[in-house]
Structure formats: structure tokens, C-alpha cells
Chains A and B, each alone.
Chain A
Amino acid sequence: MINGKPNKYLIVGSVMTGIVLLLALISVFWTPYAPTKMSASERFMHPTFTHIFGTDNFGRDIFSRVMKAIGTSFLISVFVVTVSGLAGVLIGAVTGYFGGIVDTVVMRVVDAVNGFPSILLALVMISLLGKGRWNIVIALGIAFTPSFVRIVRGEFIRLRDADYIVRARLMGVNSVRILFLHILPNVFSVFWVSVMIGFNNAILAESGLSYLGIGVQAPDATLGSMLSDAQGYLGTAPWYALAPGLTIVWMVLGAALMGEGISRRNAVR
């Protein structure tokens, strides 16, 4: 509730993301068809009641593939955001609060990592680590950490001289406690918004990498790889590309709206 009126952003965003999450969850146990089941006779079928999103060039049901793909993308993005978020908080809190030479050195390293476009960085790391979903998590996790560090560090710098923190120090509260129990709760609202944004970017980044073929490997579906496969058939079977494409839009929009809703709710107070 904002000012007594319902928070449209949060509601719509949550619903959208909720639907997606639900589909992903269900896909663990059940999909209308086995995502990898091919059927030569059913190739390139228009979307119908039996195949909601139609079939692809191998006769596989697109809807089932999309369901599984959502789950994969979601999972990877969640992990990426968790890894970079945690790293960001730890590094940002310590460097922001204590400052000094450690801060200077760490920030220069962070700046260096930040200088690379995340996809490029991921490419480099994949070439070192090899393809596959967990390597993507590591690669993107590292690529996303700098922005989290920046944001968290900024907040800690701002808050470390706040009256109530100064008093906490005067009372003898030890630094670790101050960092995580005194300051961190005040950083959450800002942090949460950047997590939402990070999540979105992770979905896009993962899709991008998979599109390029270095992400999740066939026959596993991911939204990016489906897009890549669908490219050649845009003229003849547009639904093949529309399905994953629109799904990506849906997921990103949902998370963006949630983030907006949360920040509006916090701003009011």
C-alpha cells in the first residue's frame, strides 16, 4: 500500500513473476510433453490446443521447452545474483566502512573488472573454464559483483558517520556487529532494488550467452538457445521465436515492476 492506494507495480510485478515461477516449478515435475521428445510428423505445427506454442523444427513441443527453459534461466539467474550479491555485500561493507588503503586497492580491482562488458568477461571465463551452466554462474557472478560492491559500499560510506552508528561505536559494539546488524538492515531497501535489476540483467545475459552458443548446451532448453535455433525460421514459423522472446520480456518486465514497487514503497516512508 502506498498512501492507502494499492501498490500497482508490486502487485502486477509479483503476479507476472509468480506465474513464471509457477510454470518453472511445475516443469520440474511435469510438462505437457517431454521437452526433448522429437516427432518427425509434428514438425512446425502452428500453436493449437494440443501444442499451445506450437512445435519446432524437431517436432518438439515449444511450450514444454519454454517451461523448462524458464526454470533453467531462473535458476541460473538466481544463483548469479546470489553469488554476486553476497560477494558485493561482503566486499562493499568492509571496504565502505573501513576505507583506507584496503578500500583503494579493492576499488581499483573492482573498477578493472567493471571495465569489461559482462558478456565479454563471461566469454573469457568460459573459454578458461569450459561451457556449461555452472560455469556461466561463476562467470556472470564475477562480472556482476562490481555493481553490487559499488552500491553497497556507497551506502556503507554514507551510513558509517550517521549519528546512530557513531553512538553504537561509542557504546562499544564491535565492528562486525555494526556492519551486519546495525548498518546492513538500513541498506536493504536499496540493495533489494539492485538485486531485482541484477536478476533481470542476469536473465538477459544468460540468454545472450546461450544465444551465442556458449551457455547451456543442447538438448537442454534455455530461452536464449531457443531464440538462436528459431532465428532461421522466422519467416516460416514465427511462433518458434516469439515464444521464448516474449517469455523473456515477460520475466524481465515482471521483475522490473516488482523492483519499482518495492522502491516506491520504501520511498514513501
Chain B
Amino acid sequence: MIKIDNLTISYDGKRAVSELSLELVPGEITGLVGESGSGKSVTALTVMGLLSREAKIESGRVCFDDEVIFDAEKGKDEKLLRSYRGKMMSMVFQEPMTSLNPTMKVGPQVEEQLLIHAKEKYPDRASRKKSVVEAFESVGLHGAEELYDKYPHQLSGGMRQRVMIAMAVILHPQLIIADEPTTALDVTIQNQIVRLLKEINEREKNCMLFITHDLNLARRICTKVAVMKDGKIVESGATEDIFTSPQTDYARRLIAAVPGRKSEKAASSGADNDTGRKKESILKVEDLSVFYKERSKKGFGRSYKRRVVEGADFEIYEGETLGLVGESGCGKSSLCKAILGINKEISGKIINKTIRPQMIFQDPYSSLNPARTIGWQLEEPLYAMDVIEKDIKTSKEWRREQAVEMLKRVGLDESYYNRKPHQLSGGQRQRVSIAQALMTKPKLIFADEPVSALDVTIQDQVLDLLKSLQEEFGIAYLFISHDINVIYRVSDRIMVMKDGKILESGDKEEVFNHPREDYTRELLAES
């Protein structure tokens, strides 16, 4: 049993974790759920003794059974912690690409654990290699022998995460902390990884701390859940108890914010309201294939064309939301970029009746110009319009007026006009992106995973905003997401994409209730 007692940590005077106490029981997975900034990762790092120097640990103790491995009053015993790390406790991080050493083959990386902690048990190279291969197999990696000599970049995201897990498991530690281990992965892989963690927990009977911002995910494998907000645990208990009868408002909000097929928000969509009126087609794509020029690995960089989208056929009608769902790498973003003219290597026909469709990107941190104020960025599209449509003379005052109005429309007040992007949070930046996309009142907007990088409660607000703007301005969206629940909530019609091909498309209810393709069924099983 592992106990965390009264942990308080602050950075620069601000409290990141306040009086946190948690108990982990062997054979159970305990979930630590909270939005970004709630202090979950800080807690995990403290247990591992990996906190950065700027952190001030004001109080707290961590005990493994009866042994105190960390006491705030006595300070950090690095030697003790180091002997514990890897052998008694290990961690799986969120981003496998940056957590694995890109210059080392994966086999030797995992082997390092054995070299550091279990040299007596595995004195020679052969026995170590065997152990590593076994570990790979135990985490579901096929072809483990060949995998040993591969580099991280040669593996897929899911495989890399499995390697990380193998590294965490190989010495059979008493505690495994998984910090958002699946956030960077696709939905189908997410489930496999999560199931794997449960398997390991049952097999090894160790303690597991599963950290996530996704309540749904926690529900799937955690016996107990602790909900964190602003550094404090606001509610904790058996998972089902929390879901069926949440005690606190915050827990209630988190549960309500999770988009699901059964939630009322998914009810009516624009298409139903307008039955009878024939909708105009504003975008038509015929047999569109998109290519990327790539350097060939053989020869002297001879470039060849890689096809990322094959024979796409679809239409978008005014005012509707067409959801495009598929795993990352299936070609959805490439499709958009081709239609928008960003990628010119295409074949097939695109008939676009709208002027200048806009795009909203996934990453709110790179969507805005860091060197310019919000107001300036909002006015740029107007300025561009001014230059082109020369009969409209826009004045500085008019532009500012429009910008401020749009800010208000997306829920930000006038004071944001003079701020710079780095002063805004992710959710706020995404709103600014939306506002910016709307400045020229386009009839078509491509939204590429616009809410994937945001916290659940913010996601809700942004999706509501997009919906109301659609109703007000009559905008059509091509809404891309890998999250089937979000797609269900926002779309009128749905397209499913895999490996560059559009597998299936149709009205939302039809696709959800009567999927034609196996792949679609698989995706739906995630909701």
C-alpha cells in the first residue's frame, strides 16, 4: 500500500498542490482526474522525486508500506529515491516520442533498467536481452526480437507507448504511475493501451495511479477516482459512485461535459429544422486524390509522390456541419489543405462556390501570431478584403468596431483587443482563432480538431459557440475530429475516413445506428 500524506507544493508562491492525501491499494487502479493545471502531474512527479528545482515542497510524506521514501521536513534523499525508481516505482509519460531517447535503440533503452537495478540477476547480455524481449511480448508487441534493434522513430505512437510501458514494468515495480499515457494516441490505440494497463495491474497486483483529464477513460479501468481541481482533491471514491451520484458541483460539471451519444446536447441539429427547403451545395469534390512530394530514401533523394488521399467524393451543403472522423494519419487534414489550395499536388475536381473558406487549426498555441496583438490579428482579414474589393473603403474605426464586436461574440471582452497571444489561455486563443476565421463572414469553415487540445469544460463552451455562430451566420463546417463523441454532437452528416479513403458517409443517425463498414463499427464502439 502506498500513501501520500498532506502534500503541499508551490511554485513561485503559487500553490500547485494543496494538502493532498491519497492512498493506493495493490491490485487496484486509482484514477487522478483533473483539467490541465490542476496539479496532477506535479503530484506524480513528487512521488517519483522528479520535481524541478523551482518547486517548493512545503509539506508532505510519501510512504511505501511502512517505509518513508520522502518526507518534506527531512528533504529529498536522492539516493533512496534513485534506488526506488525503476525497481519499486516507475512512470509512463504522455509523449512517448520525447520520453524515449531518439538516439538509442529501444531494446537497449529498456535493458538499461536491468543494468542499473538487477545486474546480479541478469549478469550477461543474452539473459538481459531475453528479459527485454519477454517484456515486449508481455505488453503486446509483436515481433519482439526484431523490435529490439529498432529506433523510436521507426515505431508507431502506440508501439512506442508500449515500449515505455515495457520499460516501466520490466522490474515488476510496486507502483506504476501513468501520466496521461494515451492522450497523444488515437482512440482505438487508446483503448488497447488502457486495457493493457489493466491487464498488468491484475497480473502483477501492483499499485497503479492513472492520471488523466478524460473522465470516460478513467471510468473504464479505475476502481477508485480522485477528482482534482486547483491543487486540491475535491471529491474521491469508488468510480461508479462518483459517476452515478457526484457530490460536488465540479464533479458534476466534469461528468456533464463529457460528450456522449446519450447526452441531450446531441439532439437536434440544423438539418432537421430546415426539412423541406432544398439546400444548396457550396462545395463539391470529385475523385480527389492528394499527393505529397517526398524524398525517396533510396538513391540520391529522388522525389516521388505519396498518395495520402484517394478518390474522395463528397459535397457540402450550406449551413450544415459535415463531420469527418478518422484516426490521425488517415488523410483528413491533407484533404482540407488540398481543398483550400494549400497543397497543390492534387488530381480530380474541386468545385468551390464559396469565396475564401477559412480554417481553424487544432493547436491554439500555433494558430495565432505571437508577435502581434489580438486586435491587429482580427483586423488583418478585413484589411485583406479591403485591398481586394476596392469599392469597399474600410476605415480604421470601422475595422476596430468589427474586431471588438467579434471578440464579444466569442465571449471575450474588449480588453482582449490589446493583448498578445501569450497572455491568453488555450481556450481563449481558440476563441480568438474562431473570431478571426469569422471576420470575413465566410460560408465555409474547415475546423481541424478545434477542441482536441482543450479541457473538457472548455470544449463544451467552444462547441456551443461554434453552433450558435453557425445558426447566426449560416456557416457550413467541415468538422474534423478523431473523437467520435464530439463528431456525434456537432455533425449533421458524417464521413468516415481511413488510409486516405472515404469509407462511409451519410446522415448522422444512419451512420451511427447502421454502420456499413467494420471499421466504422470499431470506431463507434469507443463511444
Interface residues of A (CB under 8 A from B): 162-174, 177, 182, 185-186, 188, 269
Contact = CB atoms under 8 A, between A and B. Distances in A.
B369 interface: yes
B380 A173 contact: yes
Closest 4 interchain pairs by CB?
A185-B371, A172-B384, A171-B381, A163-B366
A196 B258 CA distance: 53
A171 B369 contact: no
6 contacts: A163-B367, A164-B377, A170-B340, A170-B342, A170-B357, A170-B359
Interface string B380-392: 1101110110000
Contacts of B393: none
Contact of A167 (B361, B372, B422): B361
Give the dominant DSSP class at A's interface: helix
Given A164-B366, A170-B340, A173-B380, A188 B371 contact: yes
Given A163-B363, A163-B366, A172-B440, 20 more contacts: A164-B366, A165-B369, A167-B359, A167-B361, A167-B433, A167-B436, A170-B342, A170-B357, A171-B380, A172-B381, A173-B381, A174-B387, A177-B383, A177-B384, A182-B369, A182-B372, A185-B372, A186-B369, A186-B370, A188-B371
A171 B360 CA distance: 12
B358 interface: yes
Contacts of A162: 366
Contact of B358 (A163, A170, A185): A170
Interface of B: 340, 342, 356-359, 361, 363, 366-372, 377, 380-381, 383-385, 387-388, 422, 433, 436-437, 439-440
Most buried by A among B340, B357, B371: B371
Given A164-B369, A185-B372, A171 B440 contact: yes
Contacts of B439: 171
Contact of B342 (A166, A177, A185): A166
Nearest to B376: A181
A171 B356 contact: yes
A64 B385 CA distance: 59
B451 to A, nearest CB: 16
A177 B382 CA distance: 13
Nearest to B371: A185
A105 B359 CA distance: 34
Nearest to B362: A163
A170 B363 contact: no
A155 to B, nearest CB: 12
Contact of A168 (B361, B363, B380, B388): B380
Contacts of A167: 358-359, 361, 367, 433, 436-437
B432 to A, nearest CB: 11
Nearest to A186: B371
A182 B370 CA distance: 10
B358 to A, nearest CB: 6
B356 A172 contact: yes
A177 B377 CA distance: 13
Contacts of A166: 342, 359
A62 to B, nearest CB: 46
Nearest to A182: B369
Contacts of A185: 369, 371-372
A100 B359 CA distance: 26
Nearest to B364: A163
Nearest to A173: B384
A170 B439 CA distance: 12
Contacts of A164: 366-370, 377
Nearest to B355: A172
Nearest to B388: A172
A174 B370 contact: no
B342 A171 contact: no
Nearest to A187: B371
Contacts of B422: 269
A172 B385 contact: yes
A152 to B, nearest CB: 15
Most buried by B among A167, A168, A186, A188: A167
Most buried by A among B368, B381, B383, B384: B384
Nearest to A174: B387
Nearest to B365: A163
A258 B416 CA distance: 32
B435 to A, nearest CB: 12
A267 B435 CA distance: 29
B342 A174 contact: no
Contacts of B383: 173, 177
B361 A163 contact: yes
A164 B437 CA distance: 11
B101 to A, nearest CB: 25
B292 to A, nearest CB: 13
A169 to B, nearest CB: 8
A174 B386 CA distance: 11
Most buried by B among A170, A174, A177: A170
A170 B356 contact: yes
Nearest to A161: B342
Contacts of A172: 356, 381, 384-385, 387-388, 440
B366 A171 contact: no
A174 B361 contact: no
Contacts of B380: 168, 171, 173, 182
Nearest to B436: A167
Contacts of A170: 340, 342, 356-359
Nearest to B340: A170
A92 to B, nearest CB: 17
Contacts of B366: 162-164
A185 B370 CA distance: 9
Most buried by A among B357, B366, B380, B439: B380
Contacts of B361: 163, 167
A173 B356 CA distance: 11
A15 to B, nearest CB: 28
A269 B422 CA distance: 9
Most buried by B among A164, A169, A182: A164
Contacts of B384: 171-174, 177
Nearest to A185: B371
A166 B369 CA distance: 11
A95 B284 CA distance: 36
Most buried by B among A166, A171, A188, A269: A171
A172 B389 CA distance: 11
Contacts of A177: 383-384
Nearest to B380: A173
A180 to B, nearest CB: 12
A203 to B, nearest CB: 30
Contacts of B377: 164
A70 B235 CA distance: 70
Contacts of A182: 369, 372, 380
B350 to A, nearest CB: 15
Nearest to A4: B12
A164 B384 CA distance: 15
B358 A171 contact: yes
Contacts of A163: 361, 363, 366-367
